[in-house]
Every structure is written in structure tokens, then in C-alpha cells.
Amino acid sequence: MSATERVVGWESPSNIALVKYWGKHGNQLPMNPSLSFTLKNSVVRLKARYFPGNSDSSILQEFTLNGSQNQKFLNRIESFLQSQKLRYPFLNTISIDIESQSTFPHSAGIASSAAAFSALALVLETLNDTFGKKSSSQQEFFRKASYSARLGSGSACRSVYGGYTVWGSTPAVTNASDDYAIQIDSNDIHPVFDNIHDAILIADAGEKAVSSSQGHNLMQNHPYRNSRIIQAGKNLETLLYALKTGEEQLFVEIVENEALTLHGLMMTSNPGYVLMKPNTLLMIEKIREFRLQTGVNMCFTLDAGPNIHLIYFDKDKRIVREWIENNMKSLCCNESWIDDGLGEGPIPLTF
Ligand code: PMV
């Protein structure tokens, strides 16, 4: 490292939404409130080296993901950094090289943008503590990081915290905002939801035919737009109640309703599209069948993609894992599934 070179880094996890953010307006503001939990094992480690001076007008000089240069991500991050110069004036005076590592298996079809933009926003906020006005509290630091992460990728704003988070204003949560996410107080989470698990079953590892940004745009003129906003608000309120009281069945009902609604909205967009694959449907059938036969309250959710997130409680860990190994693994692409669960949030990296 040269005398003028400095390094800062954060590890940030991805998150899985239980009430889905789908549709936006203005500058990355959500059409409806959403609720997610932060994952533990699906993380991005982002290391930024910064140097004084901007030789050309670009800020980001190099970007690597898992050791390889990635032009697509470099361009996206560069335009994000350019758009942040007013918030972070120090970006006018430095150049940055970024090295990132993702723990998600290669070609698992899992979007890393939530984890990556959360880590990047935390890096920017750390630099801002040095070059700009230092945050007066931890709460302010993470809130500002969440705000910046949102501008990079909407759902990333929920990844700057551990546990369960809410993004989007709603009368159900005091202080909830469209501008940033907030953490749900752990006193409002029943112990049954501590150590909750998420088995990510890879139904298909291919590139998605329609991106999330295209999907969000299709909500502008969606015929179900208004009813979706009302439904998301109600689902969020009911889910908060289930999380507080420990009502597992209500939790299962809302989580699956949200997943199917998300994909229903995609199918009924104009043009409509389907991101689920045959194995996604087969997995859904098997999950429901197993639940009916055993009474184990596990459930599925889906991102904007074909892979199943199988959510289950810690007390059912043994039986569910055995069932995955014996019944679901063979349906997964390359017999691959990711053992994940509720995480504690980002951690700063030391060098
Ligand atoms: O953050 P984006 O623009 O990639 O959108 C994410 C949308 C969903 O993953 C489908 C739902 C959510 O709330 O995370």
C-alpha cells in the first residue's frame, strides 16, 4: 500500500422480503411498504482502496467480483457514485478501486445487488465520517447508509441492519419511512422467529428474462396497482401481528400470499411474463403436501426469480433438513441448495 492509499471495507448480507416491494416512483421510492429479514451466509465483502485525486472524471477505476473484472457492475457503480457527489462531496477528490467477493455459489441465479449496494453505502458513509460531517450516533450512521443504499438498489436499504426490517411509510410502524429502512424492535419479535431458517432451493440458475427494474416499471400502469398497495399495507400489518404474537400459521399464510402475489403481478403485467420454472411449481406442491402431512409450519417465498426460499423454524430444523436432502435436493439445479437463515447484519472489515 502506498502512503497515500487507504482501504475501507464492509461485509454485508443479502435479505429476503416477506412482504414484497414491487413498483416504485420518484427517485427509488417504494410504491408500498415492505418487510424482510437479513440473511446470514449470503454476503458480499467489499473492499475499497481510495487515492487522492481524480485523474479523469471517473471515480471508480477498477472493479472486480470474485477476482474477475466485471464491466457491467463497474458501469452501474460508477453511475451510482457520480449521482452521489452532492451527498458525498469527497467523491470529487478521490478515485476508488473496488474488490468484491460474494459467497453465493457461482451462477446460483441469486441477485447480489442488495448485499453489494448495502456494503458500498456503508463504505461511503464510513468515508463520510472521515471527510465530511461525522454521524452523531450509530443510528444516524446506519440510517444515512440505508438512504444511500436505497438509491443504488431499492431492497439494499433493508440490508444495512440485522434481524427484521421495514422499508416504506406505513401507519403500522412509527418512524417507518420511504427514504430508508428501519429495524423492527426485537421486543416485537416472538422467540419462535429467532433463528428462523431460509433454505434457498435453486430451481434454475439461468439469467432472468425480465429484470427487476423492468418489473418495477410495469407496475406504473398495472391494472391491479391500487389494490396491490392496499393489500401490501394489510399484509404488512398482519405479518407484524404474527411476528409479535408468534402465530406461525398466520405467518405462513401471509408469506406465501405475498410470494404468489408478486408472481401474479408479473403474469398480469402488460406484457405479462413468468419467472417461475417447472421445478419451482413442483417444489411449491411438495412443500404444501409436506406441511399438510406433517403439520410442520414451513413455507415458501420467492424473489423476482424462479428459486424457492423455504422458510422454517429452528425447532423443525432436523426434520426439514432431512426432508430437503431426501426429497428436494434432486429437484435443485446441480442438486444445489443454500443453507441460510436470519443474520445479524453487516460487519466492518479490518485490514
Ligand atoms: O431492489 P430491487 O430493485 O432489486 O427489487 C427487489 C424486489 C423484490 O426482491 C422482488 C422484492 C423485495 O422487496 O426485495
What is the pTM assigned to this prediction? 0.96
Pocket test residue of 151, 155, 302 for ligand 1, highest count of atoms within 8 A of CB: 155
> What are 134-164's pLDDT values in tens digits?
999 999 999 999 999 999 999 999 999 999 9
pLDDT at 206: 84
Q: Are 16 and 131 contacting, i.e. CB atoms less than 8 angstroms apart?
A: no
pLDDT at 109: 62
106 pLDDT above the threshold of 90? no
CATH homologous superfamily for the domain 195-341: GHMP kinase, C-terminal domain (3.30.70.890)
Ligand 1: which atom is nearest the Cα of residue 24?
Answer: 3
CA of 89 to the centre of ligand 1 (A): 29
CA of 133 to the centre of ligand 1 (A): 31
3 pLDDT above the threshold of 80? no
Ligand 1: which atom is nearest the Cα of residue 15?
Answer: 14
> What are 211-253's pLDDT values in tens digits?
999 999 999 999 999 999 999 999 999 999 999 999 999 999 9
Average pLDDT of the chain to the nearest whole number: 95
Q: Is the CB of 232 under 6 A from ligand 1?
A: no
CA–CA dist 126, 301 (Å, integer): 34
Q: Where in the chain is the domain with CATH 3.30.70.890?
A: 195-341
47 pLDDT above the threshold of 70? yes
> What are 329-346's pLDDT values in tens digits?
999 999 989 999 999 999
pLDDT at 207: 81
Q: Is the CB of 154 under 6 A from ligand 1?
A: yes
> What are 267-282's pLDDT values in tens digits?
999 999 999 999 999 9
Average pLDDT over residues 48-69: 90
CATH says 6-189 is which class?
Answer: alpha beta
11: β partners: 45, 347
CA of 114 to the centre of ligand 1 (A): 8
- Give the confidence band of 54 by pLDDT, cuts at 50, 70, 90: confident
CA of 305 to the centre of ligand 1 (A): 10
User: Percent of the chain scored above 70 by pLDDT?
Assistant: 96
Q: Is the CB of 257 under 6 A from ligand 1?
A: no
- Of the listed ranges 12-26, 53-67, 163-177, the one predicted with least confidence: 53-67
Q: Is the CB of 34 under 6 A from ligand 1?
A: yes
Q: Where in the chain is the domain with CATH 3.30.230.10?
A: 6-189
Ligand 1: which atom is nearest the Cα of residue 153?
Answer: 1
